[in-house]
């Protein structure tokens, strides 16, 4: 359909960027990015008419967004971008497909597929993206790429972690150079933190964090941050807890990435950082609770000899907090018992028919405590 519309308007249309990479890798795709040599918004409007959906144009960027079913589709006019200073928002002008691809971050993200009738499906690969995809390499398109946009440092490590790719030799050198110039500190904080948030949503977050450690990236971004053996171990343990939770409670759609961030920020004053990251309220609350109360709760849990003591210690906290506590392996049986059994225990209230209000509540609670100590044992 896009090809036909482009043909009618005398334009040329291509799929570009991440979607092309994902198609070549045989991955599922939900975001379709098209560029048009001509006028992307015009094509988007006709496309929207054809599918009878709404279109959201952004004329200042020459782009338009729409949704068809589960697919998120973007149309853009092919453009060149110049960065007035490192990490700034770019200045945009219309340009050829080749220039549009050249402004992109890495060779694997700088390929296009034609959607025109005459050469439908043809791969356009000016910079060796397909070869790098096969060699599992992240490669920038020109040596100053990271200087031009330091956000790409984080993107490179995110893709390397996600796909288990390496940085090409020259890319690594350029990255180290950009890092040594402390460009991450100078780049737009908003853009950096937005990119960082994407990393914290990745399935292979731990691998990405290991790369962050290797290249000392978080030290640049978080005041006072330092890696330690203990921190790395905690993150590994958190991964075990998260895998367990995903299997045990598949319906609870938790954004686990935030838990890793809470642990990373444990030793610094992270409130401001979380605010800058636009972390949801539950994350900021969790961070506060973890810093203020985790030590004491852990001490009490260690001491708990009966299920009722475990229950009374853990009652009232949030599920993410329990997951953080479960980082400590020796506490896991107690936490699991609480989450799977104690917190769900129900008592027969018909026995307390004479009681009301506070008294009834108290009687039920006491009965619960009695029942759990009778039913469960701590191993």
Residue 74 as a binder of ligand ATP (CB under 6 A): the answer is no
Applying CB under 6 A, among 37, 105, 125, 132 the residue interacting with ligand ATP is: 105
Piece of 2-10, 144-152, 215-223, 278-286 that binds ligand ATP (CB under 6 A)? 144-152
How many residues make up the chain in this entry?
Answer: 379
Residue 151 as a binder of ligand ATP (CB under 6 A): the answer is yes
Angstrom distance (rounded) from CA 204 to CA 202: 5
SS3 74: strand
Residue 139 as a binder of ligand ATP (CB under 6 A): the answer is no
20 forms bridges with which residues in the sheet?
none
Measured from the CB of residue 31, what is the shortest distance to ligand ATP in angstroms? 6
Piece of 50-58, 147-155, 306-314, 320-328 that binds ligand ATP (CB under 6 A)? 147-155
14 forms bridges with which residues in the sheet?
35, 114
Residue, CB closest to ligand ATP: 18
- Residue 57: which H helix or E strand, with range? strand 55-58
Contacts of 300 (CB under 8 A, 6+ apart): 309, 313
Binding mask 155-174 for ligand ATP (x = CB under 6 A): x-------------------
Piece of 36-44, 104-112, 307-315, 324-332 that binds ligand ATP (CB under 6 A)? 104-112
Applying CB under 6 A, among 37, 100, 132, 149 the residue interacting with ligand ATP is: 149
DSSP H helical ranges for the chain? 2-9, 18-24, 40-51, 97-102, 129-135, 145-148, 151-163, 169-180, 183-186, 189-199, 205-214, 218-221, 229-248, 257-264, 271-276, 281-303, 307-314, 319-325, 332-340, 357-375
Piece of 112-120, 151-159, 206-214, 362-370 that binds ligand ATP (CB under 6 A)? 151-159
Residue 152 as a binder of ligand ATP (CB under 6 A): the answer is yes
Residue 104 as a binder of ligand ATP (CB under 6 A): the answer is yes
Angstrom distance (rounded) from CA 172 to CA 156: 10
- Please, which residue, 151 or 241, has the CB nearer to ligand ATP? 151
Applying CB under 6 A, among 77, 78, 109, 171 the residue interacting with ligand ATP is: 109
Task: Report 32-71 residues binding ligand ATP (CB under 6 A).
Answer: 33
Contacts of 341 (CB under 8 A, 6+ apart): 372, 376
Residue 17 as a binder of ligand ATP (CB under 6 A): the answer is yes
Burial class (CB in 10 A: 0-12, 13-18, 19+), 253: exposed
Query: Phi and psi for 373 in degrees, rounded to 5?
Result: -70, -30
Piece of 105-113, 282-290, 305-313, 331-339 that binds ligand ATP (CB under 6 A)? 105-113
- Please, which residue, 78 or 109, has the CB nearer to ligand ATP? 109
Applying CB under 6 A, among 3, 13, 18, 62 the residue interacting with ligand ATP is: 18
| Residues making contact with ligand ATP (CB under 6 A) | 17-18, 31, 33, 104-105, 109-110, 149, 151-152, 155
């Amino acid at each position: 359909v896009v090809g036909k519309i482009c043909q009618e308007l005398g334009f040329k249309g291509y799929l570009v960027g991440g979607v092309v990479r994902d198609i070549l890798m045989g991955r599922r795709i939900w975001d379709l990015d098209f560029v048009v040599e001509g006028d992307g918004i015009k094509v988007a409007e006709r496309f929207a008419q054809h599918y009878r959906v709404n279109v959201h144009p952004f004329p200042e960027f020459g782009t338009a967004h729409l949704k068809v079913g589960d697919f998120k589709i973007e149309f853009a006019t092919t453009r060149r971008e110049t960065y007035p200073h490192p990490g700034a928002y770019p200045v945009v002008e219309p340009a050829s497909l080749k220039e549009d691809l050249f402004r992109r971050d890495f060779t694997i993200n700088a390929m296009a597929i034609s959607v025109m009738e005459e050469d439908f499906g043809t791969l356009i690969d000016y910079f060796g993206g397909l070869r790098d995809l096969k060699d599992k390499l992240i490669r920038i398109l020109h040596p100053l790429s990271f200087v031009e946009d330091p956000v790409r440092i984080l993107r490179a490590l995110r893709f390397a972690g996600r796909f288990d790719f390496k940085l090409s030799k020259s890319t690594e050198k350029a990255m180290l150079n950009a890092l040594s110039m402390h460009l991450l500190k100078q780049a737009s904080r908003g853009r950096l933190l937005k990119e960082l948030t994407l990393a914290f949503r990745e399935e292979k977050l731990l691998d990405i964090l290991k790369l962050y450690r290797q290249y000392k990236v978080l030290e640049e971004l978080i005041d006072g941050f330092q890696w330690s053996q203990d921190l790395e171990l905690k993150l590994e343990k958190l991964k075990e807890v998260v895998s367990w939770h995903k299997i045990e409670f598949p319906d609870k759609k938790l954004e686990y990435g935030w838990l890793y961030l809470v642990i990373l920020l444990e030793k610094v004053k992270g409130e401001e950082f979380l605010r800058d990251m636009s972390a949801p309220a539950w994350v900021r609350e969790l961070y506060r609770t973890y810093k203020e109360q985790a030590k004491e709760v852990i001490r009490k849990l260690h001491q708990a000899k009966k299920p009722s003591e475990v229950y009374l210690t853990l009652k009232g906290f949030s599920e993410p907090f329990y997951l953080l506590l479960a980082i400590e392996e020796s506490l896991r049986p107690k936490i699991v018992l609480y989450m799977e059994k104690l917190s769900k225990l129900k008592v027969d209230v018909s026995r307390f028919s004479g009681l009301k209000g506070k008294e009834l509540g108290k009687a039920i609670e006491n009965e619960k405590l009695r029942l759990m100590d009778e039913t469960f044992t701590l191993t």
